[in-house]
Structure 1
Amino acid sequence: MAGVVLRGDEDLLTGRWIGLVMLAGVLSGCGNGDTLERFDGPTMGSRYSIQYVRHGITAGPKEVRGEVENILAEVDRQFSTYRGDSDIERFNALPADSCAVMPVPVLELIRVGEQLSSQSDGAFDLTVEPLLNLWGFGPQSRTEEVPGADALAQARQRVGYRHLHIDGERLCKDAAVEVDFNSIAAGYAVDRIAARLKALGIDSYLAEVTGELRAAGRKPDDSAWRVALEEPRDDKRVAERVIELDGYGVSTSGDYRKYFEQGGRRYSHTFDARTGAPVLHNLASVTVIHPSALMADGLSTLLLILGPEQGWDYAQEHGIGVFFVLRDNDRFVVRTNDAFERMAGGKNQ
C-alpha cells in the first residue's frame, strides 16, 4: 500500500489494489475544542489508517492506536494465510475428514462466506486458495501462468464451500479444502474497529484497513468524510468520483493491480469458483456502499466475479449500492444505480 502523500491541505491515502482514495483535512482543530487526530501503520501486508474527532476528554491517539492494533493483531492471528501459526492455516493444514476448534470470529466469517456462496450459486467461495496458488496469486504460489488441464482438475477437487460445515465450536471439512478470508477479513476488521471506536466514545471517524473503510459523523469543521473512487488503471492513479460517507462502509474490488497476461489474454486474481479460472469479462472494478464494511468487502468481490450483467441484476435485486467501471476498448464506462447515489452523498438513515 502506498504511503501518505501531503498535497496542500489534503491527505491522499490509496489502497494497494482496490482503488479507494481518502480525502481528509490535515490534523486541525476548531473553535469548539474538537481536534482531528490521525495515525496509521502496517497491517496484513499493507497499511491501516484511522482518523477521528476528539471531543474534550475522548481517548487520545496513543490509547486508540493500542486498541486498534490489538484488534488487527487478533485478526492476523486468526485469519492470515501468510503465517503458519494462524488459526485458519492450522485448519488448512489438516487432511480431509478433519475438524478443529476455531475462534468464534472464524466461525462467523465461515457463515458469511457460506451465505455469499449460496446467493451467488457458488461463484463466490472462501475455499479458492488451491486455485490462487495454482495460477500464481496465492501465498504458496511459484509462478504466474495458465495451468494445465490435469493440474486444474486436481485443484478443483479441493475447492467448494459445501465441503465445510460447523459442528458446535468446530470447523470441519470432508475434503482437503483450504480457506482464504482475504475477500472479507479486512472489512471485518474495519467493523470491529468501528465498534471499538464507538465504545470509546468516538462518534466521528474514518477507519481504513488495506483500503476497506467505514466512516461516521463529520470532521471538526462540520465537513463530510470524502472518499475518491480511483479509475481502474495500472499506469497511473486518477480519481473517477468523489463520494461523501456517514454511517457506511465502502469497498472496491478490481482486476487492475494483480494480474498477468498470456496468449493475448489478461488473467486477474479474481476467481469464479464454478470454473476454477479468473474471470474474463470487461467489468474492471466494483465499488459497494453498505452499512457493514464486512458485507461491502464480500459483495464487491462477489459482484466482480458475477460480471457486468449478472452482477448488476444481483445488486438491483438485493438493493445494493454499486458503482461499476467497465472496459470499453481503450476507455472506461461508469454505471451506477439509485441505491449508490442515495448513499454516496447522504447520511445513513
Structure 2
Amino acid sequence: MLVLVSLFLLAACSNERQAVELNGSTMGTGWSVKYWSDETLPDNRQVQQAIQSQLDRLEQMMSTYRTDSDISRFNHSTSTEWQQVPAELAEVTSAALGISALADGAYDITVEPLVELWGFGPVKTNGKKPSAGEVERALQNVGYRKLSVNQHPPQLKKRHANLSIDLSSIAKGYAVDLVAEQLQALGIPNYMLEVGGELTTKGQSERGTPWRIAIEKPIDGMPSVQLVIEPDNMGVATSGDYRNYYEDDAGMRFSHTIDPVTGMPVKNRMASVTVIMPSVMQADGYATALMALGLDRAIELAEKNTIAAYFIIRNGRELHTEATSEFAEYIPGEEQ
C-alpha cells in the first residue's frame, strides 16, 4: 500500500478565501483535495463532481475489481490479436512497460495471476498460502515481454492467451496527474491532491509557503511521521510492505509486492520507498519497482537515472534511512 500522511495546517483566513477539503472514493481507496477558494473559483460542488466523474471514468477503464471494466475485458479475453482499448489504458500500459524494461523485469504489470493467487486481488484467500505448484503454473502466464502496446491507435496485444495485467501499482498515480490537469483547467492555482496516498502539490499553502508532506514511519499501530518534505509542485508516491499484507497460520507476513521472477511476495530489508518525480504516474510505478528490486539494486537504478528516492530500511527492530542525492533538495532542514 502506498502511504503518505499529509500536513494541512489551517490558519485563520480572510473573508475572501476559504479552506476547502473535498474527498470521495475511487479504485478501492479514497481521494482528497485541499485548496483555497474565493469568489473567482467554481462552486465546490462543481469541483467535487468534476473530480469524481474523472475518477469514475478511469476506474471503469483500469479497475480489476470491476468485471465490466476495459482491463477486465482484456484480461478475460484469450485473443492474441490486437485489441482496441481506451487511449488512457494504452498510455498507462506503455509507461508501465517502460519502467519494466528499465528495472530489468523486477516491475511487471503481468503479475496479475500471482496477485490473485496470493489473495491481493478482488478474490481473497483468507491467508491461505499457495502451493509451489500453483505458483509455478501462474508464472507461466507472467512476463512483460509477452505484452505489446500501441498508442496510435490505442491497442493491447497478448502473446500468451492467458496473460492478464494489473495496473494498481501505477493507475492511482495516473489518476492524480489527470485530476491535477483538471484543477488547473478550473483555475485552482494552489492545492494538494491525493488518490490512495499518491499525491501532488501545486503553488503554495495558506501560509504562502510550499506545501509540506509527511512520510509515514513504517510501523504497525497509529501513524507517525518519519520525515517531512516539500515536494514543490512535484508528484510523490510511496510503496511499502507494512499496510497491505497478510499473515498465514504460522504468523509469516506476506507483502502485496510480488516478485515476477520467483512468483513470491518480495522479501527484503526495505520497509518503504518514496519517490518524487514530475509525473505522479511515473513516481507510482518507480516506487513499486524500487521496492521490488531490493536496496542495492534500487539505489543503483535510482542514482543512474537521477530519481529522487528515499528508502526506509529495517535492521532488526531498528529503522535506518538512505536517500539518493536528488532527494535532498526536498527536505526542509534537518530530518524529523
Q: Which residue of 1 aligns with 2:216?
A: 230
Q: Deviations over 1:107-162 (max 9, x none)?
A: 00110011011011111011111001111212234243332222111101111111
Please give the secondary structure, in 1, of the residue aligned with 2:239.
strand
Segments of structure 2 that go 5 or more residues without pairing to the other structure are none
Deviation at 1:171, TM superposition (A): 1.3
Q: Which residue of 2 aligns with 1:325?
A: 312
2:207 to 221, 226, 229: 221
Q: Larger relative CO (CA 8 A, sep 6+): 1 or 2?
A: 2
Q: Which residue of 2 aligns with 1:50?
A: 33
Between the aligned partners of 1:237 and 1:91, the Cα distance in structure 2 is 38
Is the contact made by 1:30 and 1:220 (CA closer than 8 Å) also made in structure 2? no
Between Structure 1 and Structure 2, how many residues are aligned? 329
Amino acid in structure 2 at the alignment position of 1:170: Q
Please give the secondary structure, in 1, of the residue aligned with 2:238.
strand
Amino acid in structure 2 at the alignment position of 1:18: L
Between the aligned partners of 1:95 and 1:291, the Cα distance in structure 2 is 37
Between the aligned partners of 2:189 and 2:54, the Cα distance in structure 1 is 18
Please give the secondary structure, in 2, of the residue aligned with 1:225.
coil
Amino acid in structure 2 at the alignment position of 1:190: V
Is the contact made by 1:18 and 1:252 (CA closer than 8 Å) also made in structure 2? yes
Instruction: Please state if 1:21 is matched with 2:30.
Output: no
Is the contact made by 1:36 and 1:54 (CA closer than 8 Å) also made in structure 2? yes
1:174 to 147, 159, 169: 159
Is the contact made by 1:76 and 1:86 (CA closer than 8 Å) also made in structure 2? yes
Query: Greater strand percent: which structure?
Result: 1
Q: Deviations over 1:45-77 (max 9, x none)?
A: 221101122244122211111111111001110
Instruction: Please state if 1:41 is matched with 2:27.
Output: no
Q: Which residue of 2 aligns with 1:299?
A: 286
Q: Which residue of 1 aligns with 2:169?
A: 183
Q: Which residue of 1 aligns with 2:116?
A: 133
Q: Which residue of 1 aligns with 2:192?
A: 206
Please give the secondary structure, in 2, of the residue aligned with 1:284.
strand
Deviation at 1:264, TM superposition (A): 6.4
Is the contact made by 2:228 and 2:332 (CA closer than 8 Å) also made in structure 1? no
Between the aligned partners of 1:57 and 1:63, the Cα distance in structure 2 is 13
Q: Which residue of 2 aligns with 1:153?
A: 136
Between the aligned partners of 2:233 and 2:42, the Cα distance in structure 1 is 21
Instruction: Please state if 1:248 is matched with 2:234.
Output: yes
Between the aligned partners of 2:332 and 2:307, the Cα distance in structure 1 is 15
Please give the secondary structure, in 2, of the residue aligned with 1:260.
strand
**Larger deviation: 328-337 or 74-83?**
328-337
TM-score (norm 1): 0.89
Between the aligned partners of 1:290 and 1:112, the Cα distance in structure 2 is 14
Q: Which residue of 1 aligns with 2:59?
A: 76
Segments of structure 1 that go 5 or more residues without pairing to the other structure are 1-16
Between the aligned partners of 1:339 and 1:291, the Cα distance in structure 2 is 13
Deviation at 1:345, TM superposition (A): 4.2
Distance 1:177 1:266, change over 3 A: same
Please give the secondary structure, in 2, of the residue aligned with 1:287.
strand
Deviation at 1:28, TM superposition (A): 5.4
Please give the secondary structure, in 1, of the residue aligned with 2:7.
strand
Between the aligned partners of 2:187 and 2:28, the Cα distance in structure 1 is 30
Instruction: Please state if 1:196 is matched with 2:182.
Output: yes
Deviation at 1:24, TM superposition (A): 0.6
Distance 1:39 1:305, change over 3 A: same
Is the contact made by 1:252 and 1:297 (CA closer than 8 Å) also made in structure 2? yes
Q: Deviations over 1:170-221 (max 9, x none)?
A: 2111211111010001000000011111111111110111111000111233
Q: Which residue of 1 aligns with 2:75?
A: 92
Instruction: Please state if 1:281 is matched with 2:271.
Output: no
Deviation at 1:30, TM superposition (A): 3.2
1:67 to 50, 56, 60: 50
Distance 1:226 1:250, change over 3 A: same
Amino acid in structure 1 at the alignment position of 2:195: V
Identity %: 38
